[in-house]
Chains A and B, each alone.
Chain A
């Protein structure tokens, strides 16, 4: 992270550069609606109409089905509002992501940007570039991850409140244990692979909430679940070592589904499972009662909120952006 002085200097130079760029852009004819721009000439707010109604969307990668689905959803939602969407595929490569983004931002084809950053620390220059061009940008994560201390002009941060997610997960499991197992239980914590965003705070919050909701439940084993088949195998092995396991707290859908498979194959009952994620199969299981609760991130709602915020920001890019969180929902059999 750069020191405050260097950041300040960079911000200053960025603003200066931005002012110069804006002047230049104002004086030259731009691709859309040039008349207003050429007469204003002031370094502050270029007319919003000079920015095209085109969103550049750059997720981590288009490989995971969820992100693929999100890009499709973004296209649809934006399209319904009269916007175009350029979808980029960084394929988990931070350098590719920044390069592709900078290219689109430089070319002026984009009027707004939505980025799920592969490596937030390397996004600094891209953010500055967007700010200087007056292109509103929404990035996923907290301001601190990008080197900022709070909200910024032209940038909106949208992060997943992992602490809240973990708390919900642990709390629900505690509820289940209290309701169905009389308050005591042996818990398996199926966690995500190392290196996942927010893992530490998520797990910490989950364990704390579980302790609070069911003080007599013990977490007897923690297991990393990479994918469903290996998760199912590993949980089956864990079951051998702890034959009295009767509760599973899963950070991922694969963990929850793998646990169900493992217990079923071993012929053992599993009264209490909570899950963080919420894909279709999990939701089916929640309805059927085999999973007690699923804490789901409402990405559809988040997409709408993100897009709408960007549209608003485009009208006034110099205004300080927001800090949003992805909406979260707890789904149980009764909801």
Chain B
């Protein structure tokens, strides 16, 4: 039998280079050692988690200098925020989907269908609130359908491609084959400014604040993220993981619906043309934010910054007279660099953790 004392304490990563303290104290005393981290790891993790903010700051500085004097104005900042707002809302939907383990490709179709449904109602004399409500309901319904079918065991990607086709066709039918222009009643959530800030920015801010709090501080949000990380683990805790998987789809489609409605409001026209570009921009923002495609982890604020970075690059380049197509290229390069960096950091952190965690009186830190 082992002596109870020696085995009481689980070895904790100690300062790199020193040996682990002989475990002679009781469990209570371990708390003081539990917080110690090798400085190297902390710095790496800072870069991995907060690096995107640093990147954005650097981009702002670079463009302010290069595109002087037009870039660095409050007016332009608001413009960038406005451009980012739309992408950010779609990106939030994509992010939640990915976090739950589902890549939701039906987003452009849902956006189009929501927009056309709302547009049709408005054009046929119904009140604005009904049109908006109907648009959002479309999102919830499609999310439920996506979730229900995926639960039967089909790959979410395939299922959502199917709903993409269906919603796009439905949007075309609702719009009668053309677009629905003249929706000036929606201006209040489109180009209207409140306290100098356009409506879409306010809406995106609300979405992200609510979303972040939901995912990190509420029981259902935490469970949602956990289901994305390891549905089996959650199920074994007695929770119906399936419900949360469906919830993920519903949130994703609702964001798509909201994005579609806001797009419509900004251009006062509902178009059934589901633009696949929405998915790519949203995915880029999400990937820049380091949301792992494997699911289970992700930070919405970082996704917001990802969208802001995309908008900043596009804005800065356009101001300088360079076609925004180049912006897509620059963003692509940035994306590849950032995922390489993240991969390198994760591997390095693991290696260092393993090295220190297996430290003991006999071996020191390998």
Give the B-binding residues of A (Cβ under 8 A): 63-65, 68-69, 72, 220-224, 226-230, 232-234, 236-238, 240-241, 243, 257-258, 261, 264-266, 279-281, 284
Contacts of A243 in B (CB 8 A): 70
Contact of B177 among A65, A232, A233, A241 (CB under 8 A): A65
Also in contact, A265 and B315, with CB within 8 A (given A223-B323, A257-B267): no
Contacts of B83 in A (CB 8 A): 233, 236-237
Is B268's CB within 8 Å of the partner chain A?
A: yes
Is B271's CB within 8 Å of the partner chain A?
A: yes
**B21 to A: closest C-beta gap in Å:** 59
Q: Count chain B CB atoms within 10 A of each CB in A69, A240, A281 and give the residue with the most.
A: A240
A238 touches B325 (CB 8 A): no
A221 touches B321 (CB 8 A): yes
B residues 273-308 near A (Cβ < 8 Å) are 273, 275, 277
Is B343's CB within 8 Å of the partner chain A?
A: no
A65 touches B178 (CB 8 A): yes
Contacts of A68 in B (CB 8 A): 172, 177
Also in contact, A224 and B325, with CB within 8 A (given A69-B177, A230-B277, A280-B181): yes
B179 touches A65 (CB 8 A): yes
Contacts of A234 in B (CB 8 A): 314, 318, 324
Chain A proximity mask over B73-84: 1 for CB below 8 Å, otherwise 0: 101100100110
B319 touches A237 (CB 8 A): yes
Is B191's CB within 8 Å of the partner chain A?
A: yes
Contacts of A221 in B (CB 8 A): 321
A229 touches B177 (CB 8 A): no
B273 touches A227 (CB 8 A): yes
B residues 239-253 near A (Cβ < 8 Å) are none
Contact of B70 among A229, A241, A265, A280 (CB under 8 A): A241
**A60 to B: closest C-beta gap in Å:** 14
B residues 177-192 near A (Cβ < 8 Å) are 177-179, 181-182, 191
**B322 to A: closest C-beta gap in Å:** 10
CB-nearest residue of chain B to A241: B319
Assembled-state Cα–Cα distance A258/B268 (Å) = 10
Contacts of B143 in A (CB 8 A): none
16 A-B pairs with CB atoms under 8 Å apart are A65-B272, A223-B318, A224-B323, A228-B271, A229-B86, A230-B324, A233-B83, A234-B314, A234-B324, A237-B314, A237-B319, A238-B318, A241-B67, A257-B267, A265-B191, A284-B182
A237 touches B325 (CB 8 A): no
A237 touches B198 (CB 8 A): no
CB-nearest residue of chain B to A66: B178
Interface of chain A, main secondary structure: helix
Contacts of B179 in A (CB 8 A): 65, 279
Is B266's CB within 8 Å of the partner chain A?
A: yes
Contact of A237 among B73, B79, B181, B266 (CB under 8 A): B79
Is B351's CB within 8 Å of the partner chain A?
A: no
CB-nearest residue of chain A to B268: A261
Q: Count chain A CB atoms within 10 A of each CB in B267, B268, B319, B323 and give the residue with the most.
A: B267
**A300 to B: closest C-beta gap in Å:** 15
Q: Count chain B CB atoms within 10 A of each CB in A224, A229, A232 and give the residue with the most.
A: A229
A261 touches B277 (CB 8 A): no
Assembled-state Cα–Cα distance A232/B262 (Å) = 13
A240 touches B324 (CB 8 A): no
A229 touches B76 (CB 8 A): no
Assembled-state Cα–Cα distance A65/B171 (Å) = 12
B266 touches A229 (CB 8 A): yes
A69 touches B86 (CB 8 A): no
B324 touches A236 (CB 8 A): no
Is B263's CB within 8 Å of the partner chain A?
A: yes
A223-B318, A233-B83, A266-B79 are known; give 7 further A-B pairs, CB within 8 A: A63-B172, A224-B323, A227-B275, A229-B86, A233-B314, A240-B75, A241-B319
Is B269's CB within 8 Å of the partner chain A?
A: yes
B182 touches A281 (CB 8 A): yes
Assembled-state Cα–Cα distance A280/B179 (Å) = 10
Contacts of B366 in A (CB 8 A): none
A257 touches B269 (CB 8 A): yes
Also in contact, A238 and B314, with CB within 8 A (given A261-B191, A261-B268, A265-B198): no
Chain A proximity mask over B28-45: 1 for CB below 8 Å, otherwise 0: 000000000000000000
Contact of B267 among A226, A228, A238, A280 (CB under 8 A): A228
Is B320's CB within 8 Å of the partner chain A?
A: yes
Assembled-state Cα–Cα distance A224/B271 (Å) = 19
Assembled-state Cα–Cα distance A243/B266 (Å) = 21
Contacts of B268 in A (CB 8 A): 261
Contacts of B175 in A (CB 8 A): 65
A232 touches B318 (CB 8 A): no
**B231 to A: closest C-beta gap in Å:** 36
B178 touches A241 (CB 8 A): no
A222 touches B182 (CB 8 A): no
Contacts of B269 in A (CB 8 A): 228, 257, 281
**B248 to A: closest C-beta gap in Å:** 26
Contacts of B318 in A (CB 8 A): 223, 234, 237-238, 240-241
Assembled-state Cα–Cα distance A79/B70 (Å) = 58
Contacts of A227 in B (CB 8 A): 271, 273, 275, 277
